[in-house]
Structure 1
Amino acid sequence: MTALRPRPAGPVATVAAVLVLLAGCSSDAGEADLPGSSADPSSPSSPTSTATAEPDEPTEEPTEQQTAEPEPAHPVSMAALAQADLTGGGLRLGAVRERTSAYTSYDVTFASTTMGRGTEPLRISGVLNVPTGRGPRSGQGWPAVVLAHGYIDPAYYVRGQGMTRERGFLAQRGYVALHVDYRNHAESTDDPRIEQAVRLGYAADTIAALHALRDSRDVRVDPERIALFGRSMGGGVMMKALAAEPGLFAAGVGWASVSSLEAENFAQFQRPDAPLAELEAEFRGRHGLPADDPEFWRGVSPRPLFGEITEPVLMVHGRFDDTCPPPWARATQRAMTQAGVDATLEWYDDGHAFGPAFIAAMDRTVRFLDARMPA
């Protein structure tokens, strides 16, 4: 895991009260053939070289500033997530949900962590689609995709909800697809610290899902060909996981994604009928509104750490999305390319849920995955 510079510490915080307001959904609407277009990438900056002393030169005594311990990361931050030793495994297949000519769908569970090794493991539920057949001729196992769903109120969420269409489509195209329910959802264990770092915990669960697939003896998956695909809120989860664990996944996909800056998500999804005084009373005691503590809000956002991402990323967005504004997608793709990420943005004449353009967008997504994870 790449070490990151810790961000300045703010007050001990919680992002859950804000982040549960983020809306993300998936529709089972029909199909169309509307190709998208790529945004213009920017060139990454050139690396700089560092001079080193000759071996026989006397070295200076380290100063107090040089020997000082680095400032610890804020406990609720992307830096803390990146520094945590995130683990996972123990994939267990449960009941068969569905059996078709193309794939078999199972209820599954696997282990995740709160913020790393040494913390009590959480049991995460999900749904796994495994293609029919013996797998690729290479003998390396199936390519796989971890699915990060959009926001659905955990009080009403049921196992596997939110990306049913995507899961089936991928399995029909020869991909093992693991839908992650996240902690505090469906049959997953409730995280007692959910009020401290809910969205960061979701990213940890997708990372745990990759480890669970790699370690599984029941499902033959190529450990080097596992991608992460998130929609709406899950697009933000995808970006955070890639920034926290660069090089772990083979590629990232974000559909109709939320902003890569959490302050923008707050402004978009906070309760529109809540008076300012009520919002201030609710959030100021925890971490403050974005205007009160901008460093904290940047610290829980993936955009400042885009330079850590090593995987190629495909962003897919609808031109008529009225939930996650199209300018967010443009800004995210631009920031990624400026940070040196191989990021592509595809547009479709559709809304947030991807109804008419679903088939065309999924075809484009599979082509991207096939190119980034060849057999």
Structure 2
Amino acid sequence: MEAVTRRTTLAGVLGLAATACAGEDPAAQDGPTPAPTTSPSATTAPTTSPTTSPSASPTAPPLPEPPDRVSLPTLMREDFAGGRVTRVRQVAVTDAYTRWEVTYPAGGTTVSGVLLRPAGPGPFPAVVLNHGYIEPSVYVTGQGLSREQDALARAGFVVLHTDYRGHAGSDAAGELERETRLGYTRDTLHAVGSVKRLPYVDPDRVAMLGRSMGGGVTLNALVAQPGAVRAAVLYASVSSRFVDNLEQFTIPGRPEAARRLYDRFGTPAEEPTFYAGLSSRTYFDRVAAPVLIHHGSLDDTCPLRWSEQTQRLLVRDGVASVLRVYEGEQHAFIPQWQQSMDRTVRFLRRRLRA
């Protein structure tokens, strides 16, 4: 397949990018269009059968063959043991917790982040946090989920917020690792392995929370390593279909990155199997942890229909999941954030019960 053909196809895609989210749902090919939500405050979408046990040892389907070395099935074959969490400096002491800047190993990469330890001896449950997109050149360690860090630590959870490679004090990230989010997925899975090594953490009670781009990273982690965490929470998540995110974010904001991706791997029309291999929804039958999804009805950054479709497909594949829709809430999640966090804490306490 010639590079010139790919560039020509990309030009057509670039011309359509501005209308990608204004017309027909680009994810409609993966299933029926979700019915509109009518609840004035929140909607609880169907869950799976009550026989689904969040604490049972997961039995994952056979590993799919990787469509390419750059794919989620490649991550399914990797080891994510993590390593020692190294304290760099103490940055805060409150009545409820101590906050540290830290580093931890992610394979051959060193990743920075923040660690919050509640007061007391433990053992504590823990939550790994995956932040949304912030331009790496201006990102500072621990940025993006400060409200969630504080609330969860005050609720008695150890919190490890990963900066991801290429951010703050982490080692550099390659462009492909960054644009496919596979590097970030590796970082959060190693964060899980690292937090489980802490002597004051109960390794059997670890969860994950991701916002926006971090929601997509969280979904990737759930399919790559079933059973790594016992529960997951998504806030205003990106799509579980990789091409949706390309059309919404990469092509309008970083067209040169999209062009390099298409030149190397082909366009989605030319190589659909490759892009399916980067889409978590392709492998939702592997998800073992229950999932709580929060999304605002007026989110114009990550449209609500993305979470509706993700949740519909999770249920189709037997995953215990709930979608909470917040009328009038936008992407930043401000007016109803406290309600969403109260629900998050209740969900995590219930699902991480020993």
Separation in 2, partners of 1:283, 1:310: 31
- Shift in CA distance, 193/271, structure 1 to aligned 2, threshold 3 Å: closer
- Provide structure 2 residue ranges, at least 5 long, that are not aligned to the other structure: 1-5, 7-13, 15-39, 51-63
1:35 Cα shift? 5.3
The residue number in structure 2 matching 1:181 is 163
The residue number in structure 1 matching 2:352 is 373
1:37 aligns with 2:37: no
1:85 aligns with 2:79: yes
SS in 2 for 1:241: helix
Give the percent of matched residue pairs that are identical in Structure 1 and Structure 2: 45
Quick check: 2:251–2:258 contact (8 Å CA) kept in 1?
Answer: no
Which of the residues 234, 243, 246 maps onto 2:214?
234
The residue number in structure 2 matching 1:268 is 248
Tell me which amino acid in the other structure corresponds to 2:282: P
Separation in 1, partners of 2:202, 2:117: 13
Tell me which amino acid in the other structure corresponds to 1:353: A
- Shift in CA distance, 101/262, structure 1 to aligned 2, threshold 3 Å: same
Please identify which structure carries the higher helix content. 2
The residue number in structure 2 matching 1:356 is 335
Tell me which amino acid in the other structure corresponds to 1:226: V
1:164 Cα shift? 0.6
Quick check: 2:80–2:193 contact (8 Å CA) kept in 1?
Answer: no
The residue number in structure 1 matching 2:112 is 125
Which of the residues 167, 190, 195 maps onto 2:172?
190
1:213 aligns with 2:200: no
Moved more, 146-155 or 197-206: 197-206
- Provide structure 1 residue ranges, at least 5 long, that are not aligned to the other structure: 1-10, 12-17, 19-33, 45-69, 114-120, 136-140
Quick check: 1:183–1:191 contact (8 Å CA) kept in 2?
Answer: yes
The residue number in structure 1 matching 2:23 is none
Separation in 1, partners of 2:254, 2:192: 39
Quick check: 2:101–2:113 contact (8 Å CA) kept in 1?
Answer: yes
Separation in 2, partners of 1:273, 1:233: 14
**Deviations 1:171-202, CA, capped at 9 Å, x for gaps:** 01111111000011110111357458651111
Q: How does 1:53-72 map to 2 (within 5 A)?
A: none
What is the RMSD computed on CA atoms of the aligned residues?
Answer: 2.5
Separation in 2, partners of 1:193, 1:180: 19
- Shift in CA distance, 299/273, structure 1 to aligned 2, threshold 3 Å: closer
The residue number in structure 1 matching 2:264 is 286
Separation in 2, partners of 1:354, 1:243: 26
Separation in 2, partners of 1:289, 1:199: 18
How many pairs does the alignment contain?
304
The residue number in structure 1 matching 2:33 is none
Rg larger for: 1
Separation in 1, partners of 2:178, 2:149: 30
Using the size of structure 2 for normalisation, the TM-score is 0.80
**Deviations 1:298-334, CA, capped at 9 Å, x for gaps:** 1101001000011101011011111000011110000
